[in-house]
Amino acid sequence: MQRRVFVKSGALALVTMGLSPSFLRRTAFGMELPATRKGKVLICLFQRGAADALNVVVPHGERAYYAMRPTIAVPQPATGARNATIDLDGFFGLHPSLAPFKPLYDQRLLAIIHAVGSPSTTRSHFDAQDYMESGTPDDKTTTDGWLNRYLAVRGTCDECRLQDTTAGTRAAENRPAAFRAVAFAPQTPRILEGPAPTIAMNSLDEFSVRATGTQAERLEALYRTGSADIVHATGSETFDAVRMLRAANPQQYQPSNNAVYPRSPFGQRLKQIAQLIKAGVGLEIAFADVGGWDTHVNQGGATGQLAQRLDDFAQSVGALVADLGDRMADVTILSMSEFGRMVRENGNGGTDHGHAGAMFVIGGDVLGGKVHGRWPGLEPEQLYEGRDLALTTDFRAVFSEVAARHLGAQRLDVIFPGYTQGAPPGLLG
């Protein structure tokens, strides 16, 4: 098989590299990237469908919350009900299904941001997700995601350049890790689209299996020939990554600290993120998403549809934190959802598309034990367009602080173009 035929045929799908229309540009760019920054890891979790922030982080001290949600409001802590809100500070509390988050909050590992989101007025899931992942609200011309821009900027910044590019061996040793950025998804998510190399896969098992056997050996032989073509570097690194996974033996992985991951797809994705971190494969960015948050009908309050979704989310994240143990000192977990839900419940026992929402930030360098952000209130005159939780924190303020203080990003003007940096929310030390 000729190399040009191989590239044209798209055979790289066998190893589930995150292909996109910008694949060749990304691969060429990847050959120039210097060493990845070691140590810090950012795990981004996208709750797709617009999670109802008011029932996730409950403003139980707000009279209007209960007035506008007569059947789906979560009971106040003072009621003593079995499924009452878990109090945090006398005003805010966690949904009872988020019980695994309370110890993290008490240990100051968990920070919450309320009334946060996009300044865009859209109520479209597709557009709002696109804006949050691109980092450029209301700008549909952006072609890459903010995490990929971080990878590209971080990879080419002056402080990260190799001191001696003439030594071939040293250059090879300082080449970016094949697993520097990994998305557990069938295809590259919008947030990681762009020129910097990334990998998208459904599971570690699938990645290994699809790149083993006689056919994989032939592909590797093809990649190992020649040194100047733009496919060579990424192909070589991919097979190196396969060998890393074989050595890590993901099928035999045993979580630490008695961590028990749910058998759900989301739980298993987080388990595999922990595997990659512990395997020392150079992971810097991990991404996973989970759907099912579009609760227009029969949302439920302390129990029901939303409660079940939150239970899986909290049990999965809680297991990840426990499994990583001391490694959480270098890990930050960031959750996001495209927007919140309408304050008033609808006639179907659910909530419709809203505006501002809530985010969680978990990690060793997080200034936790606090609900951050300015609370706008839920009285009719305080609502956005008379119906929604008003926005007081731009999501880019959260993302840029995490990128700068946790990952060490400096070119925030490139990562979030058009955004005027204000005072950070104060989420990380």
422, part of any domain: no
pLDDT at 5 over 70: no
Average pLDDT over residues 217-238: 44
What does the pLDDT read at residue 238? 59
Count of domains for the chain: 1
> At residue 3, does pLDDT exceed 60?
no
Decide: residue 156, CB within 10 A, 0-12 exposed, 13-18 middle, 19+ buried.
middle
Reduce the secondary structure of the chain to three states and give it as a string: CCHHHHHHHCHHHHHCECCCCCHHHHHHHHCCCCCCCCCCEEEEEEECCCCCHHHHEECCCCHHHHHCCCCCCCCCHHHCCCCCCEECCCCCEECHHHCCHHHHHHCCCEEEEEEEECCCCCCCHHHHHHHHHHCCCCCCCCCCCHHHHHHHHHHHCHHHCCCCCCCHHHHHHCCCCCCCEEEECCCCCHHHCCCCCCEEECCHHHHHHHCCCHHHHHHHHHHHCCCCCCCHHHHHHHHHHHHHHHHHCHHHCCCCCCCCCCCCHHHHHHHHHHHHHHHCCCCCEEEEEECCCCCCCCCCCCCCHHHHHHHHHHHHHHHHHHHHHHHHHHEEEEEECCCCEECCCCCCCCCCECCCEEEEEEECCECCCEEECCCCCCCHHHCECCCECCCCEEHHHHHHHHHHHHCCCCCHHHHCCCCCCCCCCCCEC
Note the pLDDT of residue 27: 33
Q: Is the pLDDT of residue 329 over 90?
A: yes
What pLDDT shows up at residue 89?
A: 97
Rounded Cα–Cα distance for residues 131 and 120 (Å) = 8
Whether 286 is in a domain gets the answer yes
Q: Are strands 393-394 and 181-184 parallel, antiparallel or unpaired?
A: unpaired
Highest mean pLDDT of the ranges 21-25, 184-188, 239-243, 421-425: 184-188
CA angle in degrees (0–180, nearest 5) for 294-300-306: 45
Model pTM score = 0.84
Instruction: Kindly report the backbone phi and psi dihedral angles of residue 372, in degrees, each rounded to the nearest multiple of 5, phi listed first.
Output: -90, 165
What is the structure's pLDDT at 236? 57
Asked if residue 425 belongs to a domain, the reply is no
The predicted structure's pLDDT at residue 154: 82
- Extract the tokens encoding 126: 């597709």
What's residue 24's pLDDT? 31
pLDDT value at residue 423: 83
The reply to whether 424 falls in a domain is no
- The pLDDT assigned to 421 comes to 81
pLDDT confidence band for 208 (50 / 70 / 90): low
> What is the Cα–Cα distance from 394 to 401, expressed in whole angstroms?
12
Please give the average per-residue pLDDT across 275-298, as a whole number.
95
> Can you tell me the distance from the alpha carbon of 121 to that of 138, in angstroms, rounded to the nearest whole number?
9
Does the pLDDT value for residue 290 go beyond 90? Answer: yes
> Which amino acid is it at 126?
F
How is residue 313 written in tokens? 């989310």
Residue with structure tokens 């001290």? 61
Rg (CA), the chain: 22
d(CA 151, CA 174): 15
> Is the confidence at residue 241, as pLDDT, over 70?
no
Task: Specify if 429 maps to a domain.
Answer: no
Range of the domain at 81: 3-415
Mean pLDDT of the chain: 83
Let me know if residue 295 belongs to a domain: yes
230 pLDDT band, cuts 50/70/90, is very low
407 residue type, one letter: L
Backbone angles phi, psi at 45, to 5 degrees: -120, 120
Provide, rounded to the nearest whole percent, the portion of the chain with pLDDT above 90. Answer: 68
Output the furthest CA–CA distance in the chain (Å, rounded).
72
Segment 108-121 mean pLDDT: 98
Range of weakest confidence among 71-85, 337-351, 364-378: 71-85
Side chain identity at 110, as an amino acid letter?
L
Residue 196 has pLDDT above 80, yes or no: yes
Indicate whether 227 belongs to any domain: yes
Between the alpha carbon of residue 205 and those of residues 89, 202, 209, 242, the distances in Å are 43, 9, 6, 10
Residue 339 scores a pLDDT above 90: yes
- Does pLDDT of 7 surpass 80? no
Looking at per-residue pLDDT, the higher value among 247 and 319 belongs to 319
- pLDDT for res 212: 42
| pLDDT exceeds 70 at position 16 | no
Residue 9 within any structural domain of the chain: yes
Round to whole Å and give the CA distance between 351 and 50.
10
Is a pLDDT exceeding 60 seen at residue 313? Answer: yes
Q: What is the pLDDT of residue 370?
A: 97
- For residues 262 and 310, give the distance between their C-alpha atoms in angstroms, rounded to a whole number: 12
